[in-house]
Structure 1
Amino acid sequence: MRTLGRIVVRIMLGIIGAIALVLAATSAGNAIASSVEADQIVPYGTRVEVDGKKMNVVERGTGSRTVVLLPGFGTAAPGIDFEPLIAQLESKFRVVVVEPFGSGLSDDTDAPRTSERYVQEVHGALERLGIDRYAIAAHSIAGIYALAYADRYPDEVTAFIGIDSSVPGQPGTDDPLPIDLMRWMKWLGISRQLDAAGPDPLEGLPYSDEQRAQNRILSLRNSLSSAFVNEADATSVNFRNAEKLRFPTGLPVLLLVARDPNAPEPGWLDLHRRQAAQTPDGRVVELSGPHYLHHVQAPRIAEEIGKLLG
């Protein structure tokens, strides 16, 4: 029995040792790959100074009216992610994509990710570019920030467009993310291995091979940025604060809501209908597609924005 016990212990130690060696290899490989990829990043957009840091902004189109696109939580490269919609809008509008700190080619930041701070930073970037009249098109959680933005700058915001945008009072906003686990997975290189084994989320969508490659590099680089972690921590407070906000009187509101048969969200459409009903100028349009609605419905979204802005 003692011999059997020693054999079992040796086997267990061997397994643990093998796992440790594999993790050491993936960790080292991740560090090397990250260093190599840093030299492969192709600059895009314009970096402007905001609060002593650099925020990246993508501008396309020369129309007399401006549409500002704000990304959802965790979007690694907003300037790339919004490409299908930019391509549809740029012939008629000046299109501006603001990459918040910690995403895209913007600097990271340790500053708290409150809605008020987010609004201040985005406004600072637009002010640097001389942009003072614009419609805001917000995806996902940016709908909460854009609501605070319209409340703070009602004389500048000409319309509110939600692209499957978050809504005050939606369920699940107090659910924490497993940040510590995610950090370990990234440091050990497990996240990179999972990314390599999984499908490209932009596969089959209207992106070039270079855009898909750059999006992957920036996804690996920007995951778990300080801004990402702090934004996750501030989410529940930001949603609670948003419950006190309403659209400014007379602001045109268009809420484009995803109808995803593969991942239906109970009550999602009703939440948006109630939000749109806050103003006589509110309208809801349901479109078939996933949460990243602008990946698959860019032509229709651009059409609806064109109707709204005239």
Structure 2
Amino acid sequence: MVKKEALWRKGRGIVKTLLIIVAVLIFLILVLYINHKIRLKKETEITLPLGQIVEVDGHNMSVYTEGKGDATLVFMSGGGTCSPILDFKSLYSLLNDRYKIAVVEKFGYGFSDIVDKSRDLDSILEDTRAALTAAGLTAPYVLCPHSMSGLEALYWTQKYPDEVSAIIGFDMAVPQYYDSMKISIPMMKVTSFGASIGVTRLIPGISDSEAIKHGTLTDEEKEIYKAIFYRRTATVSMINEAEVVKANAERVNELGVPQLPMLLFISDGSGGTGFDKETWRKIPIEYISQIKAGTYVELDCPHYIHNYEYETIGREIVEFLTIQ
């Protein structure tokens, strides 16, 4: 009888301890969430749109334009890049005296609305085309995709060849990358939840992107970038993209290799690609070898090449477009 009573007391103590732990966790989450909401409200003052806000499919999309010239360079961000306008600034600021610059922020990115909708290639492409038209721009365009948006650029060329005069890829994705690429949707969803309650604010330096650490952003622009980071990390739009990216890659691959002037800048594979240097470089080099007017430049820097070698890339772009 004594033994049973002792076990009962022990079990009761364990339950009580667990309840206390759960209560503490709920309290901490509540504190984090309230702090996050307060900070978001304060940061609203510095997160006014940097470009135009246009309506696409009933929602707001952000399009940034500047510069002058006959050719229009459309910068297309990689997956999960929270602030495309600022991410590309170190590079396009070197080109705006020769070309028109456009940066389209897809749904879920930058100053565009977060929208829970299909992110197959047709949906993304039609959104982008509509945004550019609403911003007063007309084709043909020189597409400048980074990473995952390489699939969008290739598909654009395949579907509307008259609208694309050239592709300049910044470590851009080609379909073969996705044959072996590992993508963890559950981890993205955990990250999304953590960001939504403000856990990311506890991690030192997490908002310091390559654009902040290695680019030419002003102190004010760095603060804006950080504020956007806390609003646009692993959004549902980004997660929807990741869920269908392999199917998108298969679609692009089925349509073959487009033939148009193409310049690829290729990194050393570091910076989160998940590939070793040799494999990372081999795949795009084999791809562009099938393009008659294709060429490439290898750079010894991480994946976000435009935040490291922007001066070299800028010179190469001018040379490439001059001879087209």
**Is the structural similarity TM-score above 0.5?**
yes
Deviation (angstroms), 1:272: 0.6
1:239 maps to which of 236, 249, 256: 249
Label 1:50 to 1:273 Cα distance change in 2 as closer, same or farther (>3 A).
same
Q: Distance in 2 between matches of 1:230 and 1:5?
A: 44
1:126 maps to which of 121, 132, 136: 132
Contact 2:148 2:173 in 1 (8 A): yes
Contact 2:151 2:175 in 1 (8 A): yes
1:189-228 residue pairs with structure 2 within 5 A?
A: 189-194=198-203, 196=204, 198=206, 200-201=208-209, 202-228=212-238
1:127-276 residue pairs with structure 2 within 5 A?
A: 127-128=133-134, 129-170=136-177, 171-173=179-181, 175-178=183-186, 179-194=188-203, 196=204, 198=206, 200-201=208-209, 202-249=212-259, 251-260=260-269, 264-276=276-288
Deviation (angstroms), 1:6: 6.3
SS at match of 1:73: coil
Label 1:267 to 1:46 Cα distance change in 2 as closer, same or farther (>3 A).
same
Counterpart code for 1:183: S
Q: Distance in 1 between matches of 2:196 and 2:163?
A: 43
Contact 1:66 1:94 in 2 (8 A): yes
- In structure 1, the partner of 2:118 is 112
Label 1:13 to 1:108 Cα distance change in 2 as closer, same or farther (>3 A).
closer
Q: Distance in 1 between matches of 2:225 and 2:148?
A: 20
Q: Distance in 2 between matches of 1:168 and 1:197?
A: 33
Contact 2:50 2:64 in 1 (8 A): yes
Which segments of 5 or more consecutive residues in structure 2 lack a partner in the other structure? none
Residue 318 of structure 2 is aligned to residue 306 of structure 1: yes
Residue 93 of structure 2 is aligned to residue 87 of structure 1: yes
Deviation (angstroms), 1:204: 4.6
Question: What TM-score results when the alignment is normalised by the length of structure 2?
Answer: 0.87
Counterpart code for 1:285: V
SS at match of 2:176: coil
Q: Distance in 2 between matches of 1:4 and 1:299?
A: 68
The alignment yields a C-alpha RMSD, in angstroms, of 2.3
Which segments of 5 or more consecutive residues in structure 1 lack a partner in the other structure? none
Contact 1:174 1:236 in 2 (8 A): no
Q: Deviations over 1:37-65 (max 9, x none)?
A: 23431321112222232221111211222
SS at match of 1:18: helix
Deviation (angstroms), 1:172: 4.0
- In structure 2, the partner of 1:70 is 76
SS at match of 1:60: strand
Higher alpha-carbon Rg: 2
Q: Distance in 2 between matches of 1:18 and 1:62?
A: 57
Q: Distance in 2 between matches of 1:141 and 1:33?
A: 31
Contact 2:170 2:264 in 1 (8 A): yes
Q: Distance in 1 between matches of 2:217 and 2:208?
A: 11
Q: Distance in 1 between matches of 2:207 and 2:199?
A: 16
Q: Deviations over 1:96-117 (max 9, x none)?
A: 1111111111222222001111
